[in-house]
Amino acid sequence: MSFLNASVSKNSSIVRPEYFFIIGLSGIPYSSYYYIFLFMVYIISLIGNSVVLLIIAFERSLHSPKYIGVFNLALADIGETNALIPNMMKTFLFDSRYITFNACLANMFFVFFFSSLQSVTLVVLAYDRFIAICLPLRYHAFVNNTSMVLIMSALWAFNSSFVALMVSFISKLSFCDSVKIQSYFCDHGPVFRLACNDYSISVIFAFLVSVLYLVAPLIIIVISYIGIFLALIKITTWQGRLKALKTCVSHLLLVGIYFLPMCFSYLAAVLVTLTPNARVISTSLAYAIPPMLNPIIYVLNTGEIKDIIRKILKNRSAPERTFLND
């Protein structure tokens, strides 16, 4: 470990390496093609979510509680992919696998912060659908632009504080031996397991992250949809039921796309012993694919956004036809 200049604090016995080494995929020929594939996913995610952000920002008819939630989800998608994939390109395609200690903590914070924000935003959107279908007459009393902005602001504040606290405990650990991270970014679990002192607090935080941002949100969403389906039963006509259910299709698809890969990755890690390469591939896809598919789902399944896009395309094509006729 000659590349390490481990710094020991004068007032404590904490040993911090100057660098960590991110392993990523190992022993797989042509693994660079996988990172190029993720980069293509990143470009599609960036374009798609940027289009959704611009449409919601500039179209006044979409300035509603539901689309404030969609706007927040698109922001979280862009934040997560920017925190994750460009760093992967730099790390593996340009063979820059060493990352400084502080840069590692920053990378860990932003990936987990934006991922957690995706999870809680899906819960808020489930709340929006629950009130809209189960309590339609009181919807505007419970859900309005002001309350939605306050909810989102509170979630940003809580998530940033919780994730910052989780990351801060990594700085209390000593790294005396290996600095090789068995992951594709500065992942919380693989990092704290390298420590040579007590990391029980980090284990607790890892458990809390799983509960707060995976288990609890999924339970809340399932309960909300049980309430929604019970409310749909009370609607007398099938046309009315389908119309109400149609407003939930986009959200249900987003929930499935986000939570199913995450749950699969966690269960696979618990029930079977995944190889490091299998873990890298499964978790990287679980992080990268939802931000790419989310804007596509909203564009294809949301009538308001489709109508606005058609209007924009029609307005752009009209001057072209006029010019050709002249």
We report the CATH number of the domain holding residue 36 as 1.20.1070.10
Residue 269 lies in a domain: yes
Structural domain containing residue 266: 12-319
Using alpha carbons, select from 154, 148, 161, 74 the residue that is nearest to residue 112.
161
Residue pointed to by tokens 């470009």: 43
Residue 5 falls inside a structural domain = no
pLDDT digits (tens, 9 = 90+) for 197-252: 889 999 999 999 999 999 999 999 999 999 999 988 887 788 878 888 888 888 89
Q: Please give the helix or strand (H or E) that residue 260 lies within, else none.
A: helix 238-271
**Cα–Cα dist 152/117, whole Å:** 9
b (16+ CB within 10 A) / e for 185-198: bbbbebbbbbbeee
What are the tens digits of pLDDT across the range 128-178?
Answer: 999 999 998 889 889 999 999 999 999 999 999 999 999 999 999 999 888
Does residue 3 belong to any structural domain of this protein?
no
Q: Using the structure block, give the residue that is written with the tokens 């190992």.
A: 26
Kindly state whether residue 288 falls inside one of the protein's structural domains: yes
Distance (Å, whole) CA 50 – CA 48 = 5
Answer whether residue 225 is part of any domain.
yes
Q: Is residue 176 part of a domain?
A: yes
Of 84, 99, 108, 87, give the one whose Cα is nearest residue 169: 108
C-alpha 176/C-alpha 135 separation (Å) is 58
- Does a structural domain hold residue 116? yes
Number of domains in the chain: 1
Supply angle C-alpha 186, 189, 193, rounded to 5: 105
User: Which token pair is 301?
Assistant: 């399944």
pLDDT above 90 for 306: no
Q: Determine, yes or no, domain membership for 325.
A: no
pTM of the model: 0.88
